[in-house]
Structure 1
Amino acid sequence: MKYVTIEDIEPGQILGKTVYTANGTVLLSAGMQLTVYMISTLKRIGVTVLYIEDQLFEDVELEEEVVSPKLKQAIFREMYELSQSLKSGKDFNTASIATNVDMLLNSVLENKDVALHLAEIRTADNAEYIHALNVCLISSMIGINMKLNPSQLKELAIGALLHDIGKAVPESRVPLEKGKEHHTWRGYEMLRQKREWSLLVAHIALQHHEQLNGSGEPRGITGDAIHQYAKIVAVANTYDNRISGNPLTGIPPMLPHEACEQLMAASERELDRDILVEFMRIVSIYPNGTSVRLSTKETGVVVRQHRGLPGRPVIRIVRKTDEDLEIKEVDLSSETTVFIEAVLS
């Protein structure tokens, strides 16, 4: 399987990973042969990358999923229904959200040693729900690494999943005083009314755009005034925003290693250093299927990972000779003088 930009997809290629709609139903199933119409439709709805099956890399599988496709679909559906309820002025089901979060946390705990690869294919319609799930996943895994207890993990996970809830709340439903128009205030006001949840859940929605140096929003608070949960969600939110880009502003998505470099550059200035260290321990920097160029000037595809060494995967290099194909693998964990020089589109 290979990770390919939509512009490089050709009719006849086989889709390697299912694409979902906003409400969690299947749009295109893995294994389908792509047609000109399908590719055109995917471009139109905002898809930028796909996983494609390739005979030379048919044994290459995506990293193990932290959460099952079935649970992901349930959470997408939950977030879609929540958003629609809020936009129409209705309430949402906190018990159902809590149940899905419990299942997600159980899954994360069972797979806490799996390197996190955020592989869902985004469209213009499903991007906000994939973002909510990704931020929840990243935050939960960081929280586990930081030894948060079960009660704290649940508070963190619920707040992370609902961190952007304010964007779905109509202004007429939660009128705010002047200077508090930011979506973080709207999310805070909505969530603090939920007595079944800790007030800290609401503070995650309020503070996840704050930065250590006081340059964040909405209040410009600094350092220890920002709750630990919000600092964790800030790292998760920043990373997922970087790798997804913003089609509305024309900001293209970054590759995982580029996003990680930007986050580390913001250490102790905008983002908490200790949390960033834990984040770097869980994320897959060069996901399986990624095409790369090595410092030897050879090009290949990432085929396997080493837990704890996210920057030193195994690369398969395929060369065409006059009579046959020459295939070799370079294990960067043992080839210590060879480095990934660039990620290729």
Structure 2
Amino acid sequence: MRTEVTAIKQIPLVQATGSMILADDIVNGNGQILVTAGTALRKEIIALLGKHGITAVRIKAAEPANKELSAVPNLISAATRLSMVQAMQNAFRNRGGIAAHLPHLRECIHKVIEELSGHGNLLIYLSDIRQKSDYLYGHCVDVGVFAVAFGMAMGLSRDEIYILGIGGLLHDYGKSCIPNEIIEKNGPLTPDEFEQVKKHTAFGYNVLRLETKVDSRIALMALQHHERPDGRGYPWGISEDKIHPLAGIVAVADVYDALITDRVYRPRVPAHEAIRIINAGAGTQFDSQVVDAVNKIVVPYYIGSAVKFNNGSTGAVLRINSKEPARPVVWTREGIVNLLHERELQIVAVV
């Protein structure tokens, strides 16, 4: 595991983000503990502290040691992914209802968390878990794994990450209620077909919320993963403060996987372009704190990619910096350049 040097520092509450960990208990004027030390400063926690007049907090400032990586391991093993795809196939076919499949799905997410926790550096290397399989089932698996990775990068609790993973797997469960000829159509959908597909959020929510063994947050992820902070999503068109934070994470994982996946009617986009699209939607289409997590752990460039800098020179990616994966070590004709230290240089294109 990577080594961390932890320090304590005080910051204004307005500068707090979900990746920060509270160093001390926060108490109100009556001596009651509002938030305990070790809690990640998520949006709802920050809002709570603001309502109680808290203007500054002390956080654990952990500075991860950088590693220059010449190879990045896959997030999960092929065996784990195959087991998850099979679990999703069975769940979507609804043999005995979703409750019958929850034990297997829970086992799958426990395995994902275990494998991701074992990585010395948690990085998503392009489409490293994408394999040839039925799109819907494979997509749900990928979204579940990406969501867990984003949640870990955001410092969520183990319980939240576990629920997040299940919600990612089942976010499109409502598509089991949509006619197969629409779901499996080899081409763009007509406006009428798209309106039918949009109903999958409500279908999934209605099925999952009636299942007593399903956590209510899982049903909300199915319902809200197409909502947007600017209120232009569906099915309700609700804005940022009404969208459950876990649904916001699944929303980003859903779009990222869709972008980097080949479809019959369009080719996938490279990871650096997918990241650019997601960053362009920060605060409007996507939760900004989730976008920060994407930038923290998604590797935009293949090792070996030919890249162009903002000064016109070119080079090839040699190694990935674990601390900032978007700023790799690059070979150039003038010598090896580490973008982690050469801050004036920016990669502007993949040649």
| Runs of 5+ unmatched residues, structure 2 | 1-68, 181-194
The amino acid that maps onto 1:160 is G
Tell me how far apart the structure 1 counterparts of residues 261 and 330 of structure 2 sit (CA, whole Å). Answer: 25
Alpha-carbon offset, residue 246 of structure 1: 3.8
The amino acid that maps onto 2:298 is V
Could you tell me which residue of structure 2 aligns to residue 227 of structure 1? 244
Aligned ranges for residues 1-345 of structure 1 at < 5 Å? 62-83=71-92, 85-86=93-94, 92-111=100-119, 113-117=121-125, 118-123=127-132, 125-170=133-178, 182-244=199-261, 246-247=263-264, 250-295=265-310, 299-316=314-331, 329-344=336-351
CA contact (8 A) 2:300 2:325 kept: yes
| Aligned CA distance change for structure 1 residues 181 and 115 (closer, same or farther; 3 Å) | closer
Could you tell me which residue of structure 2 aligns to residue 29 of structure 1? none
Tell me how far apart the structure 1 counterparts of residues 303 and 329 of structure 2 sit (CA, whole Å). Answer: 9
CA contact (8 A) 2:178 2:196 kept: no
Could you tell me which residue of structure 2 aligns to residue 41 of structure 1? none
Count of aligned pairs between the two proteins: 267
Give the match's secondary structure for 1:244.
coil
CA contact (8 A) 1:120 1:130 kept: no
Alpha-carbon offset, residue 334 of structure 1: 3.8
Q: With the length of structure 2 as denominator, give the TM-score of the two structures.
A: 0.67
| Aligned CA distance change for structure 1 residues 340 and 233 (closer, same or farther; 3 Å) | same
Tell me how far apart the structure 2 counterparts of residues 76 and 291 of structure 1 sit (CA, whole Å). Answer: 34
CA contact (8 A) 1:295 1:341 kept: yes
Alpha-carbon offset, residue 129 of structure 1: 3.0
| Aligned CA distance change for structure 1 residues 149 and 120 (closer, same or farther; 3 Å) | closer
Q: With the length of structure 1 as denominator, give the TM-score of the two structures.
A: 0.68
Tell me how far apart the structure 1 counterparts of residues 341 and 240 of structure 2 sit (CA, whole Å). Answer: 40
CA contact (8 A) 2:307 2:317 kept: yes
> Any idea what the Cα deviations from partners look like across 1:116-140, whole Å, max 9, x if unmatched?
12324444x4333332222222211
Give the match's secondary structure for 1:293.
strand
The amino acid that maps onto 1:231 is G
Give the match's secondary structure for 2:317.
strand
Tell me how far apart the structure 1 counterparts of residues 196 and 255 of structure 2 sit (CA, whole Å). Answer: 24
CA contact (8 A) 1:292 1:302 kept: yes
CA contact (8 A) 1:211 1:270 kept: yes
Tell me how far apart the structure 2 counterparts of residues 301 and 76 of structure 1 sit (CA, whole Å). Answer: 35
Alpha-carbon offset, residue 222 of structure 1: 1.2
> Any idea what the Cα deviations from partners look like across 1:244-279, whole Å, max 9, x if unmatched?
2543xx333222121212212212112111221122
The root-mean-square deviation of aligned C-alpha atoms, in Å, is 2.9
Show structure 1 runs of 4+ deviating over 6 A.
178-181
Tell me how far apart the structure 2 counterparts of residues 116 and 179 of structure 1 sit (CA, whole Å). Answer: 33
Tell me how far apart the structure 2 counterparts of residues 103 and 216 of structure 1 sit (CA, whole Å). Answer: 33
The amino acid that maps onto 2:114 is N
Tell me how far apart the structure 2 counterparts of residues 62 and 195 of structure 1 sit (CA, whole Å). Answer: 44
The amino acid that maps onto 1:333 is L
CA contact (8 A) 1:313 1:332 kept: yes
Structure 1, 332-341 or 274-283: larger mean CA deviation: 332-341
| Aligned CA distance change for structure 1 residues 97 and 296 (closer, same or farther; 3 Å) | same
Could you tell me which residue of structure 2 aligns to residue 4 of structure 1? none
Give the match's secondary structure for 1:218.
coil
The amino acid that maps onto 1:162 is L
The amino acid that maps onto 1:196 is K
Alpha-carbon offset, residue 339 of structure 1: 3.4
CA contact (8 A) 2:75 2:128 kept: no
Tell me how far apart the structure 1 counterparts of residues 280 and 198 of structure 2 sit (CA, whole Å). Answer: 30
| Runs of 5+ unmatched residues, structure 1 | 1-59, 173-177, 320-326
The amino acid that maps onto 1:136 is G
| Aligned CA distance change for structure 1 residues 338 and 106 (closer, same or farther; 3 Å) | same
CA contact (8 A) 1:211 1:271 kept: yes
